[in-house]
Amino acid sequence: MAAALPPAPYTVTLDVDSQALDSVTINSAGIGPATLAVGAHTLGVTGNGLGAVDTVVVTGAGNGITIAGGAISASGGIFVGSNTSLVGFGTLAGPISGSGTFEALGGNLDIKSNITSTTVTGMQIQDGGAAILQIDGTVAAGNRVTFLGDAGTLELTNFSSGTLQGFSGTIAGLNVGSSPTVPTNEIDLAGIAPTGIALAELDAVSDTITVTTTANQSFTLQLSGSYDAGARVDLISDGNGGTELFLDNSTITGTTAPTVVLITGNFVSRPGANVYIYEQLASGVPDPDNSILVGYSLTTQIAGIFARHEPENFADTVVLQGFTAYALGETGMAGDIFFVDSNGNIISVGTADGDVTNLVSTVVSASQGPTGATGASGATGAAGATGATGATGAAGATGSTGPTGQTGTTGATGASGATGAAGATGATGQTGAMGATGARGQTGATGATGATGATGHTGATGASGQTGATGATGATGHTGTTGATGATGAKGLTGSTGATGARQPEPLVRSVPREQPARRVRGVRPGQPARRVQQAKPGTREQPVPRERGVRPGQPARRVRREQPGTPGQRERREQRV
């Protein structure tokens, strides 16, 4: 029976930009390694549906995601588990996590969000000049970025005022090159120019690079690996306002004059072997015509009383001249210091058997020969700023006046000199006193009437005036017509004459022998009840009752006030019914 074939790998390709998905999970256990190819499209996992988690999750050995210029956006995070990967170039938006591989390959893989997880140990940069891993946020301790070869760039952009912010991860695989101007792999400090860096140095004991800015701020980069004391930090512009930081082991002498340099290294797994040291004088493939032998050493033996823990160590003191900087290792450039074995083969720089490694060069100042001729004067530096003006010194004492010399004889009058140039105009004299006032001129014609001014605001309402005097009493109305005379009654019988009685006072009102028609009282209309009238005294004429002002006929009389005599300024009120 034939053995079962392993599950075949397969790829799911995203052909369009996705809508806002709620989640994406890649886990093909038992089916075969699966790959989601995002390509140049956008995988958006930012949905808000029921139960949405907005995450991208890759689990299961061999599964992964590839991206080629597109974008993956997951607000809930991008998780790449153990033995899975996310590879390519493009943009990752959302916090990343997981111990799987996040590899920059073929271009710029830009991680936008902060990396707060502490287990992201698989961030990698492919061995290629185009591979760039860009990190825009902070990186927590415990995370690691690894260069997979001698090429590639780690670009850090999270800067504030020229200082890197929140990068606590570890950088592994930063290569030590041989040129102070041409990097191999590098760290791009995108937020600070080389002119903003005062010092950058490598501590080979703690494997840390400390960068100090011109503003006296500093930050560190923790490396992972083993670096020799001869490795040095180089800085060049990245062409975009930032700084490319890299390592090299070149020797800087600063002079073209002969300089004594101590060179040490390890010839891996070659005890008791010859090492010939050459200086290349012209660029090109090294050969006897463009190179010169400057030193020779024999590596230590593997056994014996003088055997050492690292038996392949060698050292030699050589004299270098003609250049101001030298690179350890063969690069084909003038100034290279390269190594040749006893068979005439150039020894490669590396860590494999038969390579030279741990190369260190040290300028030995005390062993230098006699001072050479004075070099040509360098270009004059820019003038420094003018110093502050010093304080004015105290005035010296006035010397004593010398004696007056004798008056000499008067000389002959000389010829009149030429007329001098006109002197400068004198200062204007003071203004003279004011003259008497002139006679008054005739009155000018009346000017035209000016335009009517705008109406002013209405003034405040004036106080109420005093109450006016009471008007005169109106005229008495006309007397009504006299009613018709009643019929004359029959004449009664004449009674007997009575005895004459005593004389009695006259009554106020005499009896009327016959019924007389009633007189109309002024102010009383027909049909209204008669008003009480004052009886007339004997011998007087009955006066009409005055009409009360404000009371209409037929209305009841109202109570009125009448002023009574009294103290001036006071009034007594007395009620009287009319």
pLDDT above 70 coverage of the chain, percent: 59
Indicate if the pLDDT at residue 562 is higher than 70.
no
Give the pLDDT confidence score for residue 551 in this predicted structure: 53
The length of the chain is: 578
Closest CA to 84 of 59, 109, 103: 59
Distance of CA 509 to the CA centre of its chain: 118
For residue range 491-530, list pLDDT tens digits in order: 656 666 666 666 655 554 444 455 555 555 555 565 555 5
Say how many C-beta atoms besides its own lie within 10 A of residue 149's C-beta: 14
Cα separation of 283 and 334, whole Å?
5
For residue range 77-99, list pLDDT tens digits in order: 999 999 999 999 999 999 999 99
For residue range 311-361, list pLDDT tens digits in order: 568 999 999 999 988 888 887 888 889 999 999 999 998 778 999 887 888
Give the global pTM.
0.53
pLDDT above 90 coverage of the chain, percent: 42
Q: What is the dihedral of CA 197, 203, 208, 211, to 10 degrees?
A: -10
Q: What contacts 560, CB < 8 A, 6 or more positions away?
A: 548, 576, 578
Least confident of 357-366, 552-561, 567-576: 567-576
Query: How many helices (H) and strands (E) would you count in the chain?
Result: 0, 34
Q: How confident is the model at residue 47 (pLDDT cuts 50, 70, 90)?
A: confident
Q: Read off the amino acid at residue 366.
A: A
Give the pLDDT confidence score for residue 128 in this predicted structure: 84
Least confident of 5-19, 320-334, 476-490, 551-565: 551-565
Q: What contacts 268, CB < 8 A, 6 or more positions away?
A: 312, 351, 352, 353, 354, 355, 356, 357
Closest CA to 522 of 545, 541, 540, 542: 545
Cα separation of 349 and 177, whole Å?
10
